Structure 1
Amino acid sequence: MSHPKNSNFHLLMFPWFAFGHMTPFLHLSNRLAERGYSSTFLLPIKAIQQLQHLNLYPHLITFHPLTVPHVEGLPEGTQNASDIPIQFTYLLAAAMDRTRDQVERVIRDTKPKLIFYDVAHWVPEITKAFGIKAINYSVVSAASIAIVLVPARNVPKDKPITEAELLVPPAGYPSSTVVLRGHEVRSLLFISQPFGEGITFYERIYKAMKESDALAIRTCNETEGKFCEYIGSQYGKPVFLTGPMLPEPPKMPLEDRWVKWLSGFQPGSVVFCAFGSQIVLEKNQFQELVLGLELTGLPFLVALKPPMGAATVEEALPKGFEERVKGRGVVWGGWVQQLMILEHPSVGCFVSHCGFGSMWESLMSDCRAVLIPHLGDQILNTRFMAEELKVAVEVVRDEKAWFSKENLSKSIKSVMDKGSVMCSMLKENHRKWREMLNKGLMNSYVDKFIENMHELVN
């Protein structure tokens, strides 16, 4: 659907400086540009170089470089979250806040109709002065927002939230299946940790959502409708849904090395494992992971960052591992074309951390899903996939959040054994969801989202 006023309907995009946030914002820009909407995209200089190839409409989407100011304690040259260990992220948030003058200048110069932002809680203060509407765009699951980031959670300012408090769902939470375990709750305590100067993660996101003119969420009514309604009622805001905002199929082919390697195996027989751009495992967990994949007896491709204390993945591999899996197992420390690997006919299982992007890629692919979440929203995404939608298996872990090679192997075998009840159930549920989330439905979400944008500014 093309709107007659779209040529004058300029947008400004200002996502958090992490690829899991910047790329969904860019996918949204692409889908809107497809219908004639132009946007200015505010990004750190280095991120522009890395995301340039994903800008499908360079005549409509302009990248505006931001200089990331230095903050004491932040490693020199840091521009986005994948440049640093996760414990430094709060300093990157402080650096982002110091770009406020640059952002305000761009708003003044471009005079957008709307600005989309996520963690920069101060954006509405600027837009109100200019009479511009601001949409808070969440690229994590509605289920995770509904359990952690609603006013009913009422995180105290003067003291950190406790494990016991987090174990209790907030008032009115619309699901009984997301039951948290002790070690998972500990990973959710980040919400009361600093995220910038003089502000906690919860305070920042709560304010960013509360001060917006509308909330947008990267999800669908079909999967998370009840959570979206709950969030809207909690914040007293209109909630617009974009659909999952997956990228268009890449124009560049899968690298030859992977085409050749994957094509040597039977259809649906290869296990692919990847944990995104930020997860770095401890060495013994890294070894347990690859040994678990070896134990399956299946061909596998692992794409992970080198574990802590190792310069390369090769030096961290268990003794004798490479010789034992030669010809059927590859551990790769570099970047891979994840979406294209998942689409290869030889790949039948995706072992992931269940970041929200990977969650949707898994749901829309043909692969069976085995999940090993690491951080807050990944845990809630995993519970949603495994217990609400029943399309995935979660690897069992102990109270310290460690998984064994035996449990990993058992989970993979349970979804890859075509004769098992578990495999049949997951496959059937997955098929139903994939058919429902077809391209026509995704396009209708974008059309509806455009209507919502126009209604907001009129």
Structure 2
Amino acid sequence: MDLPVYMLYAITTLVNTRYSTIRQIILSSWEKLRDDTFESERTADAIVLNTFQDLERQFIELYEKVIGKKVWTVGPLNLYNKDEYSKSLRGNKLGAEKQEIVFNWLDSHKPKSVLYISFGSLTRKNALQLMELGSGLEAANKPFIWVLKEAEITPEVERWLSKDFEKRVQQKGLICRGWVPQLAILSHPSIGGFMTHCGWNSILESISLGVPMITWPHFSDQFTNEKLVVNVLGLGVSLGTETVCWMPAADDETIWVHWDDIEKAVQKLMGEEEEAKAMRRKATDTAANAKKAMEMGGSSYDNITQLIESIML
């Protein structure tokens, strides 16, 4: 997600400030963002949401009833990106060499066989948790592509990756350091699952492309989003965490999710049991509904048309 200017300023101008101070400033910025959102909702004539009617109809209808205003659902907006160049811009554009490595690797795998792992732009994990995640992926023995943020790759993590882990999993896994074009990767035929932090953009992209999920929420609405994916839609497997863990301190050694729970979740989502197959079928059906919503005569298409007409009146 794009951060408001005042949050970017707080982060970029206080890089040398104590961790606790930076954390408090960011939390205060989130509070301001929340308050601004509530005020905008209160004063708006209508609400426009990046979702579609068939995905969460009962909640949209309840929301309209509670706020007493029209709610226009106009998504999934990522389906507007129909060309490869547009898809490549979601998550920043890869360099040509790195892009070739990533997509050649994906091309070498069977359809729906690869687990994609990425946790958005704001969340961070300490070294021990990253190693625990790696152990779970290795034990599950399923193909995976794992995106690690540069801020997470401490000297300790880099030593673990380059001297040990990457060599052991080189036949099964690909580690991507830094940004990747998420939408293009999720669109690849070899992707069969997505381990996600449950940010709304990531969830909607995964849903619209027919990719079931392993859910690992970290903060804010991500826990509610997880319940929609797992409990309501039946499109995901939860890792079971209920702890806010989005920005650990430098000396934090907490392990929130253990390797064996990660292994079980990967096996459950990516395996060949009937439950996994049923989840994949449901994901395919939900993706078809998402595409219909954006086509002429679909709910989102009609809502966009009516929204434009209402503005022009």
TM over 0.5, shorter chain: yes
**Of the candidates 185, 200, 225, which is equivalent to residue 381 of structure 1?**
225
Aligned to 1:221: 53
Indicate the RMSD between aligned Cα atoms, in angstroms.
Answer: 3.2
How big is the shift at 1:77? 9.1
Aligned to 2:40: 208
Aligned to 2:253: none
Give the Cα–Cα distance (whole angstroms) in 1 for the partners of residues 8 and 213 of structure 2: 40
Matched, 1:302 2:156: no
Contact 1:279–1:305 (Cα < 8 Å) also in 2: no
- Could you say if the C-alpha distance between residues 437 and 74 of structure 1 is closer, same or farther in structure 2, counting changes exceeding 3 Å? closer
Aligned to 1:60: none
What is the 5 A alignment of 1:340-351?
Answer: 340-351=184-195
Give the Cα–Cα distance (whole angstroms) in 1 for the partners of residues 312 and 82 of structure 2: 32
Give SS of 2:117's match: strand
Q: Could you give the per-residue CA deviations for residues 1-47 of structure 1, whole angstroms, max 9, x where no partner exists?
A: xxxxxxxxxxxxxxxxx42x7xxxxxxxxxxxxxxxxxxxxx96xxx
- Could you say if the C-alpha distance between residues 70 and 240 of structure 1 is closer, same or farther in structure 2, counting changes exceeding 3 Å? closer
Contact 1:306–1:316 (Cα < 8 Å) also in 2: no
Give the Cα–Cα distance (whole angstroms) in 2 for the partners of residues 381 and 69 of structure 1: 23
Q: Could you give the per-residue CA deviations for residues 93-122 of structure 1, whole angstroms, max 9, x where no partner exists?
A: 5xxxxxxxxxxxxxxxxxxxxxxxxxxxxx
Give SS of 1:216's match: strand
Contact 2:214–2:266 (Cα < 8 Å) also in 1: yes
Give the Cα–Cα distance (whole angstroms) in 1 for the partners of residues 64 and 106 of structure 2: 45
What is the 5 A alignment of 1:144-293?
Answer: 194-195=31-32, 201=34, 203-246=35-78, 247-252=80-85, 255-293=99-137
What is the 5 A alignment of 1:101-112?
Answer: none
Give the Cα–Cα distance (whole angstroms) in 2 for the partners of residues 448 and 404 of structure 1: 44
Larger Rg: 1
Give SS of 1:195's match: helix
- Could you say if the C-alpha distance between residues 427 and 455 of structure 1 is closer, same or farther in structure 2, counting changes exceeding 3 Å? same
Aligned to 2:248: none
Give the Cα–Cα distance (whole angstroms) in 2 for the partners of residues 315 and 307 of structure 1: 15
Using structure 2 for the length normalisation, give the TM-score.
Answer: 0.79
What amino acid maps onto 1:243 in structure 2?
A: G
Q: Could you give the per-residue CA deviations for residues 163-191 of structure 1, whole angstroms, max 9, x where no partner exists?
A: xxxxxxxxxxxxxxxxxxxxxxxxxxxxx
Contact 2:207–2:287 (Cα < 8 Å) also in 1: yes
Matched, 1:413 2:267: yes
Q: How many residues are treated as equivalent by the alignment?
A: 284
- Could you say if the C-alpha distance between residues 399 and 195 of structure 1 is closer, same or farther in structure 2, counting changes exceeding 3 Å? closer
Give SS of 1:320's match: helix
Give the Cα–Cα distance (whole angstroms) in 1 for the partners of residues 184 and 23 of structure 2: 28
Contact 2:214–2:238 (Cα < 8 Å) also in 1: yes
Contact 2:208–2:290 (Cα < 8 Å) also in 1: yes
Q: Could you give the per-residue CA deviations for residues 377-418 of structure 1, whole angstroms, max 9, x where no partner exists?
A: 111111101110111111133768711111111111112112
What amino acid maps onto 1:227 in structure 2?
A: F
Unaligned runs of 5+ in 2: 16-21, 89-93, 246-255
Aligned to 2:13: 76
- Could you say if the C-alpha distance between residues 288 and 321 of structure 1 is closer, same or farther in structure 2, counting changes exceeding 3 Å? same
What amino acid maps onto 2:284 in structure 1?
A: R
Give the Cα–Cα distance (whole angstroms) in 1 for the partners of residues 177 and 75 of structure 2: 32
Aligned to 1:314: 158
How big is the shift at 1:229? 1.9
Unaligned runs of 5+ in 1: 1-17, 22-42, 45-67, 79-84, 94-192
What amino acid maps onto 1:249 in structure 2?
A: K
- Of structures 1 and 2, the one scoring higher in RCO (CA 8 A, sep 6+) is 2
Aligned to 2:278: 425
- Could you say if the C-alpha distance between residues 398 and 226 of structure 1 is closer, same or farther in structure 2, counting changes exceeding 3 Å? closer
Give the Cα–Cα distance (whole angstroms) in 1 for the partners of residues 83 and 204 of structure 2: 16
Contact 1:397–1:404 (Cα < 8 Å) also in 2: no
Q: Percent of aligned pairs with the same residue?
A: 25
Give the Cα–Cα distance (whole angstroms) in 2 for the partners of residues 308 and 441 of structure 1: 37
How big is the shift at 1:450? 2.9
Give the Cα–Cα distance (whole angstroms) in 2 for the partners of residues 326 and 70 of structure 1: 37
What amino acid maps onto 2:175 in structure 1?
A: V
